Amino acid sequence: MQPSSVSHSCSPKIGVMTAGAMDTLTWRFLLAFTVFSIYILIVRKPIQFRWRTLIRFLPFAFCYPVAFFWFQIYGLLYVTSVEAGILTASAPILTAVLAAVTIKEKTNCKQYAAIGLSVAGVVYMTLMQGGADAYSGGMFGYALIFLSCCANAGYAVINRVSIRSFSVTEITFYLMLIGVLFFTPISLVFHIAGGTIGQFFVLLCNGYFIAAVLFLGLLSSLLTTILTSVILKRFTSAQFVVFLNLSTVIAVAAGWLFLHEHIHAHHLIGTVMILLGVAGTSYFQQK
């Protein structure tokens, strides 16, 4: 799934600080597409490329990866990771509303309350762990991050429909390919126009950049795309996105277990709120 709302924003932030935003997007999708293509060859699940299929995926890909990552990574130039994490927590509500309007998925009042509780848990933990310098007040950045959340909601809804016509392998292949075809030419044109084409490749000598791209390409882009398609076969769009809030709980547990970070009362309170929200969203679906 996705990393926590704050940690999910930190790695793009590292990439942007180390390189240009477009370079970060380009290398993450080049890596994701290359690794997935190798996987297809190893498991011998060939995909017959068709331009007609690629065109059918364009509206899908406009939401993800194009709009989602474009707005997110440029938004992080104007707001802090904490602020991005708070805004990203609104994704479940946006998804539930969009799914109800477009594909007529039913979300009852009790589910909306449960989704709100889960979102509140993420926001609470994010606010409590952000220091006094965690807020920039950049309205333009807020708007960009909010638009990335809207794109994420559209992606979940369209994926819910597309999974009926395409396999998980096809969805992942074409979305990663479109990411490469969209971001790579833009990045190269910028470098060629500025006479800095060498910098595009020198980035691979930077350990921080490589670490950020490995995380972003393999976990945040590739693995998330695969798991999204798999899970949306079983859950509604709103249920799926609220489950993403569990990643905040996982991030806190992993920090305590592997990094020896301290767990405070606000972590426990936020965790309980998230777990109750996730459980309630699924439980009330049956009522």
- The pair of structure tokens assigned to 236 is 């509604």
**Residue 128 near residue 266, CB atoms below 8 Å:** yes
Q: Whole-angstrom Cα distance, residue 10 to residue 112?
A: 29
Which of 25-29, 195-199, 257-261 is most confident? 25-29
**Residue 92 near residue 241, CB atoms below 8 Å:** yes
Q: Average pLDDT of 190-217?
A: 85
- Position 54 scores a pLDDT of 92
| Burial category of 39 from C-beta neighbours within 10 Å (exposed 0-12, middle 13-18, buried 19 and up) | middle
H or E segment at 109? helix 109-129
- Position 113 scores a pLDDT of 87
Q: Whole-angstrom Cα distance, residue 112 to residue 130?
A: 27
- Position 129 scores a pLDDT of 65
41 vs 224, more confident: 41
- The pair of structure tokens assigned to 6 is 């704050």
Q: For 33-37, 89-93, 167-171, 191-195, which range has the lowest pLDDT when averaged over its residues?
A: 89-93
The helix/strand/coil state of 38 is helix
Q: Could you tell me what percent of the chain has a pLDDT over 70?
A: 77
**Residue 28 near residue 216, CB atoms below 8 Å:** yes
**What is the chain's mean pLDDT, rounded?**
78
150 vs 107, more confident: 150
Confidence of residue 256 (pLDDT cuts 50, 70, 90): low
Q: Whole-angstrom Cα distance, residue 42 to residue 75?
A: 38
Q: Average pLDDT of 60-75?
A: 87
- The model's pTM is 0.74
- Position 34 scores a pLDDT of 95
- Position 78 scores a pLDDT of 79
- Position 173 scores a pLDDT of 95
Q: For 7-21, 36-50, 155-169, 199-213, which range has the lowest pLDDT when averaged over its residues?
A: 7-21
- Position 286 scores a pLDDT of 57
Using the predicted structure, report yes or no on whether residue 208 has a pLDDT greater than 90. Answer: no
